[in-house]
Amino acid sequence: MSAKYEPQGTVAVITLDNPPVNGLGYATRVAVAEGVEKANADAAIAAIVITGGGKAFSGGADIREFGSPKATMEPNLLSLIKVLEASSKPIVAAVNGVCMGGGLELALGCHFRVAAPGVAVALPEVKIGLIPGAGGTQRLPRVLGVETALNVIVSGEPVKSEMLAAVPGQKLFDQIIEGDLLPAAVAYAAAKGSEYAGKAATLPLVRNLKVSHPNPDAYFQFARNMVKGMAKNFPAPAKCVDAVEVALKRKFDDGMVYERETFMALMMTPECKALRHAFLAERAASKIPDVPEDTPQRSIAKVAVIGAGTMGGGISMNFLNAGLPVTMLETKQEALDRGVATIRKNYEAQVKKGKLKQDKLDARMALLKPTLSYADVADADLVIEAVFEEMGVKEAVFKTLDEVVKPGAILASNTSTLDVDQIASFTKRPQDVVGLHFFSPANVMKLLEVVRGKATAKDVLATVMATAKKIKKTAVVSGVCDGFIGNRMIEQYSRQAGFLLEEGCTPEQVDKAVEKFGFAMGPFRMGDLAGNDIGWAIRKRRYVEKPGMRYSKTADLLCEMGRYGQKTGAGWYDYVAGKRDARPSAAVVKMIEDHRAALGVTARKISDDEIVHRLVYALVNEGAKIVEEGIASRASDIDMVYLTGYGFPLHRGGPMCYADTVGLFNVVQTMKKFAANPLDDASFWQPAPLLARLAAEGKSFT
Ligand code: NAI
């Protein structure tokens, strides 16, 4: 049973009971329909209240039913709303906590609505590439007016119930009830029961309300322009505008048909599939297959960060923002002062932009304790090391931490390339050691790779996953390997970018093609931003470790010219001091041409399609290996890494989702073509066994 039925005097109370958010799954829909029928058949009942058990009225569709037949089994939400509208006894929605998506559409199908203050009200369908599909686009304008309704629908953002109740002329909420919602709603329903006894035909229905606008054509033109700028890669926002216009200009039932058809058509678009994939992938990433959800967690009330450089400062800000005290440790006063000053400067910039209040800045800085003494980090619950990327330095730090920090504390390293198991072995408590790989700038980037060492304890993993949520990061677990998930893949992507230069591209041509595909930044602009010297250092190591692996020499030649990127004013592009725009460099083009000549390669014209697919399929093939080796728990984790840490276009859902959209058979065929290119790396393009197997079986990654 996922809705309870309880008569209270003359009122039947139907309480949605499908934790955690009363999703409108099949069993809940059936129970509500049965409850309404039962109340209508009972002569002792005069009215009905529908409310939500626990903290929510309803969060909308039950995401656990996505993709299963139960999601559409009758009564679907449209049919259930028809049942509500047909009730001969008044139905009052008593809206509590959260009222979103289908939950709001259900409430709009009731005759009356009363709400607690502070309820989060939203139609978030646009966020998964859809428009509301159970009357939301047709009913909401009838109760809130065209403009407010469209804002709610097109933004998908929650608005507080009392704010909506304050919209002039609104008919969404008949009352905002301070204090106990349910008894007040029951009393309200009882009164309506008496008022409408024997007058069922006059019960108010949202569908019968008039909707108007003083200047509709100009308004919808304006709305379309706004939406076009906001959501260039997604069709749904523009369809929200169309649907609300239909609500204004056509009959209600025609509008419902339009909404349904548009909803179904959007459902089939690759953009919608990508967004739904990303939505589910984010939830999946927070689960670790062998770490149960009820694994006990350690308490994290005090954090220490070792190293106050680029990463240490950014990492500290995350915890300060979440209200956790941070002790930041350095070896020298000067480095410590610089680290603190950078944090303050970052916050001050936010204050200047109006994004942060001065008192918040003061409160956050007050939580920061700079120190040169390890005694001050001894009582930290979580220590994150972000010192130089050298094993010797890390060894010294972890040995000291092992000596001074209290037992049970979590010891984390932000290393981007070093072996976390080796780092753990410097301590006598490897079970407490974990990698927490933040991305730069660490206070901005959403991604956090949680690197699970072979000894890392399950409660440590459970704790850092929960902590990641607290600091608003998207955590993805990676096993230990060189580069973990993200950087191991980007190395193959960068190799392809280098080969493309040797075969005939300019950096600008490659970047433009990739940016047109939707990446935030092409590989060469990204190199200039991150610093080309970082990749250079990694390649020097590779030349020793993997002498058989071929790289284009162009990136080394660039570094030999001292062109490290934005920080040296020159990289793959030229930069003017104080500006970030990349200008094509004649010197770099000449370097590439000379190198080509030295190799005896004649430049050929390379299509954007080839550029994009060589780069993206390089990610896909390496990603497949990462899944097969168990470094990632699932293919969708790889997509989360790329969507949140590497600027992969959201409307394509991540590299693995994109490969699925193209079809793995087609991906393999294209790889075979790349393997036949004598200037490329034929061995790399052998499809990873997992990819080959899935392609042969007609299956997909996600
Ligand atoms: P950084 O050079 O900006 O900062 C390192 C800081 O550590 C310096 O302030 C230095 O004084 C301090 N330090 C060195 N030895 C120390 C010790 N024994 N005790 C205390 N402090 C010490 O370097 P960055 O970029 O912040 O990198 C730090 C770590 O983060 C490295 O492991 C790096 O691989 C990793 N990382 C860096 C990323 C980046 O984009 N910069 C991204 C992700 C990880």
pLDDT in tens, 642-677: 999 999 999 999 999 999 999 999 999 999 999 999
The answer to whether residues 224 and 238 touch, using CB atoms and an 8 Å cutoff, is yes
How would residue 231 be classed by pLDDT, with cut points 50, 70 and 90? Answer: confident
d(Cα 416, Cα 478) in Å, to the nearest integer? 12
Cα separation values, 360 from 304, 315, 341, 355, 368, Å? 21, 18, 17, 10, 13
The answer to whether residues 632 and 485 touch, using CB atoms and an 8 Å cutoff, is yes
**438 Cα nearest atom in ligand 1:** 43
d(Cα 139, Cα 129) in Å, to the nearest integer? 20
Answer yes or no: 65 catalytic: no
Q: How does the average pLDDT of the chain come out, rounded?
A: 96
For residue 70, count CB atoms less than 10 angstroms from its CB and return exposed for 0-12, middle for 13-18, buried for 19 or more. middle
Q: pLDDT for 372-404, tens place per residue? A: 999 999 999 999 999 999 999 999 999 999 999
Residue 111 has pLDDT above 80, yes or no: yes
Cα(563) to ligand 1 centroid in Å equals 22
d(Cα 104, Cα 123) in Å, to the nearest integer? 7
**415 Cα nearest atom in ligand 1:** 32
Residue 245 has pLDDT above 90, yes or no: yes
Mind listing the domains of the chain with CATH numbers? Answer: 3-267 (3.90.226.10), 303-478 (3.40.50.720), 486-557+596-696 (1.10.1040.50)
User: Cα angle vertex 163, ends 158, 169, to 5°?
Assistant: 120
What phi and psi values does residue 553 have, to the nearest 5 degrees? -80, -10
d(Cα 635, Cα 17) in Å, to the nearest integer? 33
Distance from chain centroid for Cα 453: 25
**329 Cα nearest atom in ligand 1:** 20
Distance from chain centroid for Cα 479: 21
Enter the tokens of residue 104.
Answer: 């709001």
Q: Where are the beta strands (DSSP E) in 19-66?
A: 47-52
Q: pLDDT for 549-584, tens place per residue? A: 999 999 999 999 999 999 899 999 999 988 879 999
Average pLDDT, integer, range 406-434: 97
Residue of the nearest CA to atom 16 in ligand 1?
387
Average pLDDT, integer, range 498-509: 98
Answer yes or no: 697 catalytic: no
Average pLDDT, integer, range 513-534: 95
Q: pLDDT for 469-486, tens place per residue? A: 999 999 999 999 999 999
The answer to whether residues 192 and 118 touch, using CB atoms and an 8 Å cutoff, is no
Q: Given the residues 105, 245, 385, 491, select the one marked as catalytic.
A: 105
For residue 188, count CB atoms less than 10 angstroms from its CB and return exposed for 0-12, middle for 13-18, buried for 19 or more. buried
The answer to whether residues 282 and 640 touch, using CB atoms and an 8 Å cutoff, is yes
Cα(304) to ligand 1 centroid in Å equals 14
Residue of the nearest CA to atom 39 in ligand 1?
440
- Protein residues with CB under 6 Å of any ligand 1 atom: 306-312, 329-331, 335, 386-389, 393, 396-397, 414-416, 437-440
> How much of the chain, in percent, has pLDDT values that exceed 90?
95
Cβ atoms < 10 Å from Cβ of 593 = 14
Enter the tokens of residue 22.
Answer: 């009363």
Q: Given the residues 34, 125, 178, 403, select the one marked as catalytic.
A: 125
Cα(339) to ligand 1 centroid in Å equals 11
Q: pLDDT for 22-74, tens place per residue? A: 999 999 999 999 999 999 999 999 999 999 999 999 999 998 888 789 999 99
What is the DSSP secondary-structure string of 352-393? HTTSS-HHHHHHHHHTEEEES-GGGGTT-SEEEE---S-HHH
Cα(386) to ligand 1 centroid in Å equals 5
Q: Is 570 helix (H, G, I), strand (E, B) or coil?
A: strand
**339 Cα nearest atom in ligand 1:** 9
Q: Which of 388, 403, 405 to mutate to test the pocket of ligand 1 (most atoms within 8 A of CB)?
A: 388
Cα(680) to ligand 1 centroid in Å equals 35
The answer to whether residues 236 and 272 touch, using CB atoms and an 8 Å cutoff, is yes
pLDDT at position 107 is 98
Nearest to 657 by CA among 645, 646, 667: 667
pLDDT at position 1 is 62
Enter the tokens of residue 374.
Answer: 């390890």
Residue 246 has pLDDT above 90, yes or no: yes
pLDDT at position 691 is 98
Cα(441) to ligand 1 centroid in Å equals 13
d(Cα 469, Cα 129) in Å, to the nearest integer? 24
pLDDT at position 64 is 84
Nearest to 51 by CA among 120, 5, 1, 102: 5
What is the DSSP secondary-structure string of 319-356? HHHTT--EEEE-SSHHHHHHHHHHHHHHHHHHHHTTSS
> How much of the chain, in percent, has pLDDT values that exceed 70?
100
Residue 128 has pLDDT above 70, yes or no: yes
How would residue 229 be classed by pLDDT, with cut points 50, 70 and 90? Answer: confident
Residue of the nearest CA to atom 4 in ligand 1?
309
pLDDT at position 66 is 80
Cα(537) to ligand 1 centroid in Å equals 15
Residue of the nearest CA to atom 20 in ligand 1?
330
**Sheet bearing 326-329, strands edge to edge:** 368-371, 326-329, 303-306, 382-385, 410-413, 433-438, 447-451, 474-478
pLDDT at position 140 is 98
How would residue 230 be classed by pLDDT, with cut points 50, 70 and 90? Answer: confident
pLDDT at position 580 is 78
d(Cα 517, Cα 233) in Å, to the nearest integer? 10
The label of the residue with tokens 């993200």 reads 486
pLDDT at position 639 is 98
Residue of the nearest CA to atom 31 in ligand 1?
389
Q: Which of 333, 416, 473, 532 to mutate to test the pocket of ligand 1 (most atoms within 8 A of CB)?
A: 416
